[in-house]
Amino acid sequence: MAAVDSFQLLYRQIARTCNTYIDALAIVGAWYVTRKSICLICDFYSIIRLHFIPRLVSRRDLLKHFGKWALVTGGTDGIGKAYAEELASEGINLILISHDRSKLEATATAISAMYNVETIIIEADFTKGREIYQPIRETVEDKEIGILVNSVDVPYDHPQSFLNISEDKLWDLINVNIAATNMMIHILLPGMIQRRKGAIVNISSGSCCKPTPQMATYSSVKTYLDHFSRALHFEYASKGIFVQSLLPFYIKTNTATYTDGLCIYSWIAPSANVYARHAISTLGISHRTAGYWMHSIQFLFAQYMPEWLWVWGATQMNNRLYAAFLQKS
């Protein structure tokens, strides 16, 4: 009986201790769940505040707030061209930079005729390195440029392993996606600081939020742009400069297309014009945004997603894209 009593006493002591630990763990678990729930609610509120509430009120006057000139790199295609058109619709004069002179002339002429603004074109190939920047500096030195949109971009032709990328392509990814953004800001930022107003928009990518296999270099340079933009905003916000990191996901042009092996609908992947219309409404409001309401939801889930799940999903998608590329070629 003594042994039984001793066992029961030991059991009660252990149970009492375990209950204490269970209560402590329950408190910690409840605190964690509450904290995550509050963060998620705040994130969804931020999406509503950023993408829906501003559309119920008149858009801020960008011309008055930042100035009458804007410069857009990569302004003849995709998001860059669409963003330039949105700026022109606000009455802002444009300086467009691209390597294709015929596209520059056609784009500038069309925008001038449609929106009655001044346009200046600069032919420059950002893959050529430092030699191109002095002519750009000389062209823009007498212009009070209030908005800079760094849209020029060298994408992957298709997802591929790092060693399958040529050295020329690697240098282009660095010289265009990183160096061009830095140099254009270095040229225009002093004037903005002197006037104590200006906006810089760096177009990164949603792929920057987590490591993306088969797009290692591209997603990494976009991560650089995101971190660089955020740091620059904190560095110069007190001087009146607003720096925004845009993080778009897929952009498509058709309502529903099977392109590159993926079926994506317009409400998930908008056209460049729809995306630019939404993104420009966030200028001066959010210094880091996906730019479009559905992209913001995608980015929110990507941030909460475990890294292994993102990597698995990205690998599956990129394998499909690569298979589609092989079929075409």
Q: In the chain, what are the domain boundaries?
A: 47-328
Say what the pLDDT of residue 257 is.
42
pLDDT at 145 over 70: yes
Give the closest residue to 140 by CA, choosing from 173, 75, 85, 188: 188
The pLDDT of 154-173, averaged and rounded, is 87
Pick 175 or 324 by higher pLDDT: 175
pLDDT tens for residues 130-143?
889 999 999 998 88
Please give the pLDDT value at position 208. Answer: 84
Q: Has residue 2 got a pLDDT over 60? A: no
Q: Name the residue type at position 273.
A: N
Confidence (pLDDT) at 20: 65
Mean pLDDT for 148-176 is 88
* pLDDT tens digits for range 261-279: 555 556 678 889 999 999 9
Per-residue pLDDT tens digits for 94-138: 999 999 899 999 999 999 999 999 999 999 989 888 889 999 999
The pLDDT value recorded for residue 80 is 92
pLDDT above 70: percentage of residues in the chain: 82
Mean pLDDT score of the chain: 84
Q: Give the pLDDT score at 5.
A: 55
Q: What's the pLDDT band for 155 if we cut at 50, 70, 90?
A: confident
**Which of 30-34, 153-157, 216-220, 250-254 has the weakest average pLDDT?**
250-254
Mean pLDDT for the stretch of residues 228-235: 95
Tens of pLDDT, residues 178-189: 999 999 999 999
* Among 297-301, 308-312, 323-327, the least confident range: 323-327
Q: Which two tokens stand for residue 187?
A: 């040229």
Burial of 17 per CB tally in 10 Å (0-12, 13-18, 19+): exposed
Contact 86, 94 (CB under 8 A): no
Give the whole-number percent of the chain exceeding pLDDT 90: 42
Give the pLDDT band (50/70/90) at residue 39. confident
Spot the catalytic one: 218, 224, 275, 292.
218
pLDDT at residue 11, rounded to an integer: 56
- Is residue 275 annotated as a catalytic residue, yes or no? no
DSSP of 41-89: HHHHHHHHHHHTGGGGSPPP-HHHHH-SEEEEETTTSHHHHHHHHHHHH
Burial 78-88 (b: 16+ CB within 10 A, else e): bbbbbbbbbbb
Domain 47-328: which topology? Rossmann fold (3.40.50)
- Contact call for residues 61 and 141 (beta carbons, < 8 A): no
**pLDDT attached to residue 186:** 95
State the pLDDT confidence band at 254, using cuts at 50, 70 and 90: very low
What per-residue confidence (pLDDT) applies to 317?
Answer: 84
Query: Looking at residues 25-29, what average pLDDT do you find?
Result: 70
pTM of the model: 0.82
